[in-house]
Structure 1
């Protein structure tokens, strides 16, 4: 069902805050972050004055936010900003993109490069502002999510070769290793955009080219999908009191008629994982 029937440029970075029952998302090109109280329907809005690529929870009424080429802490009550790090993007790269807080409390964020020899990368940014490049060679870094034990990370490139990779992940150090290609250029089932894991380690992947959410196993097998009323879904996240409600954002459908844009939700048979918080190392 529709939670919000509204056209956004690129609605992304859906995040559920269990403590408040709020659903957060951003509209990337509009440079705007939204929060919806799912009980009362009250919506808040913050304009940051430049593209908001992605964000995560940071505790104490704050978000860790990826702007075009920098990472900040943003206070929701005052709008105050604190610079965490500046990402030195190679010349020609447009901006940062999909990002999430990982099991080690660091913020992981990728970049975009639509050139013939893409240099988009995946970065790790910790609470001290240290920036490490983990891997590179992407057109559009996307799809970040971790399994329940925090020891497997999924990551995709939603343009170019349109692949999904699986990595071993160290929640102690944030290091990634043992890269395996799970899916590549699967036009029949849709390119892999934003993603999320449920508690049984099934990866739920937005497929904007097929108007659905794909369910993918740890071995890369397609386990099924959920067709959606929105035309171009971008990001799923689990929420609700029992973490069994799946919310999904979308990007501009480009259609003149209404009813194909916004945020939708549906119920899952299994719960998803609670988001990690920046600066907080999770005990696994």
Structure 2
């Protein structure tokens, strides 16, 4: 079922590969990154449309997660870093595939237990170079390997189900979890097969009712899947390559959506006026706030 909700450009800056959005309700601030340009963006939603404040980073970062009022966790090409919000100071928290210069971090979400699921992939999206890890404190456990572009990491409201996708394969998977730890309790199963569809499933966020909202890269839309594995809603967006949503706003009733112009030539960008811009989509449902990452296991 198609729908046309209220959508506006939150920030006019264009991201080469916008990703990893996060929302801080205490300050009503949106955060996101541009992976390929080593940039972190900050924008209080109360200020309306951007431009956002841009922070240059010394590495490629792919995901922003809260720790507490003063610090956030950045997933980067060689590990996880603690960033002090006040002055931008960075310190390595734990390495992640630091020995492999051919990979970088990609999609990530914090589980309700406070553990992080974070994926890696080849810098040139080489087949089978990617993996998904569970990080509890500094304890890193590889969960799934042999993936190409791992994405769509999200969790059911009760933390008992995890979701992920290999965008290259196109199959959204679900896996039963221990809700106390976020560790798998069984093997993954197919949740929805999108392998023959237009565009690829990218980042995901789960709403308060358990619907899984995914960005469809190359499809200019968001899709919502039920916990039973049915696609129940599709929302068109004004950018061809949406990458990752997260719920934002005082009522958590809007989706902050990053986009990208990666791989688009000049003609493709001209045909896609909002390419790379960050959007705010009023989808009319209430979402969930991503939990804070727990520094201790």
Common fold by TM > 0.5: yes
- Pairing 1:122–2:142 present: no
Aligned residues: 278
Render the CA deviation track for 1:83-127: whole Å, top value 9, x for unaligned: 2111236757421111122111122110113334x1411111222
Q: CA deviation at 1:188?
A: 2.3
Match of 1:194? 203
Separation in 2, partners of 1:173, 1:189: 35
Gaps of 5+ in 2: 1-7
Separation in 1, partners of 2:156, 2:295: 17
Residue pairs, 1:108-257, within 5 angstroms: 108-113=117-122, 114-116=125-127, 118-127=128-137, 129-159=138-168, 161-178=169-186, 179-252=188-261, 253-254=264-265, 255-257=268-270
Gaps of 5+ in 1: none
Question: What is the TM-score of this pair, normalised by structure 1?
Answer: 0.91
Separation in 2, partners of 1:222, 1:213: 11
Match of 2:92? 83
Question: What is the TM-score of this pair, normalised by structure 2?
Answer: 0.87
Separation in 2, partners of 1:167, 1:149: 13
- Cα distance 1:57–1:136, how it changes in 2: closer, same or farther (>3 A)? same
Q: CA deviation at 1:193?
A: 0.1
Separation in 1, partners of 2:107, 2:14: 20
Q: CA deviation at 1:162?
A: 2.0
- Pairing 1:271–2:291 present: no
Q: Is the 8 A contact 1:85 1:125 kept in 2?
A: no
- What is the RMSD computed on CA atoms of the aligned residues? 1.9
* Alignment equivalent of 1:99, drawn from 97, 108, 111: 108
- Cα distance 1:163–1:80, how it changes in 2: closer, same or farther (>3 A)? same
Q: Is the 8 A contact 2:130 2:150 kept in 1?
A: yes
- Cα distance 1:249–1:175, how it changes in 2: closer, same or farther (>3 A)? same
* Alignment equivalent of 1:60, drawn from 69, 85, 89: 69
| SS at structure 2 position matched to 1:59 | coil
Separation in 1, partners of 2:145, 2:162: 15
Match of 1:260? 274
